[in-house]
Structure 1
Amino acid sequence: MAYEIPVTQARAELAELINRVVYGGERVVVTRHGKPLVALVSAADLERLERDQEAPEEQVISSVSKLGQVGSASGERARFGLTAEHRRPDRRG
């Protein structure tokens, strides 16, 4: 859970807040009128957040590149011995 502090108080205690984040491992949320504005996190937390953000994109690219070519529908029907296929009705006039 993050420690919340109003922006006016955060201004006065910035050095202490930095120490709490860096040395205490805390996360600090600065608020205005009770609404979150910014968060103070350690550089290590920021790196982890950025790495986690990039990871899904890299995983998708890696997965897609491993798929290779997919056979055609007619090739798949022959492969599995299917003799019929579903076609949508023609909706002409």
Structure 2
Amino acid sequence: MAYEIPVTQARAELADLINRVVYGGERVVVTRHGKPLVALVSAADLRRLEEEQDTTEEPVVSAVSAVHAVPPAPREPRFGIAAEHRGTEAR
């Protein structure tokens, strides 16, 4: 679980937060008005995230390369819609 901290407090405690991430193995989420803005993670965590992203993109590429042309669907009959404007006096 990540440690959350408001941006104003994170600004004042940046050196301590970096130490918590690097040496304590923590992940820190910096928030503004309670909403997450950024996350501080170790360089090793970032490397793992990037490697995972690279491996998850590969099957998509191979799946897209396997796509072939599909014949068009047969034409469906067209139905018209008729409307008549009667004006306000017809009510």
In structure 1, the residue matched to 2:38 is 38
Residues 50 and 90 (structure 1), Cα distance of their counterparts in 2 relative to 1, 3 Å cut: closer
Residues 63 and 91 (structure 1), Cα distance of their counterparts in 2 relative to 1, 3 Å cut: closer
Normalising by structure 2, we get a TM-score of 0.66
In structure 2, the residue matched to 1:86 is none
The alignment-based identity, stated in percent, is 79
In structure 1, the residue matched to 2:25 is 25
1:61, distance to aligned residue in structure 2 (A): 4.7
Equivalent runs, 1:12-91 vs 2, <5 Å = 12-61=12-61
Residues 91 and 10 (structure 1), Cα distance of their counterparts in 2 relative to 1, 3 Å cut: closer
1:8, distance to aligned residue in structure 2 (A): 0.3
Q: Which moved more, 1:49-58 or 1:25-34?
A: 49-58
In structure 1, the residue matched to 2:11 is 11
Residues 90 and 56 (structure 1), Cα distance of their counterparts in 2 relative to 1, 3 Å cut: same
- 1:10-67, CA deviations, whole angstroms, 9 ceiling, x for partnerless residues? 00000000000000000000000000000000000001111101102224556888x8
Normalising by structure 1, we get a TM-score of 0.64
Output the CA distance in 2 between the equivalents of 1:5 and 1:62: 41
Letter in 1 for 2:31: T
Structure 2 gaps, min length 5: 67-73, 79-91
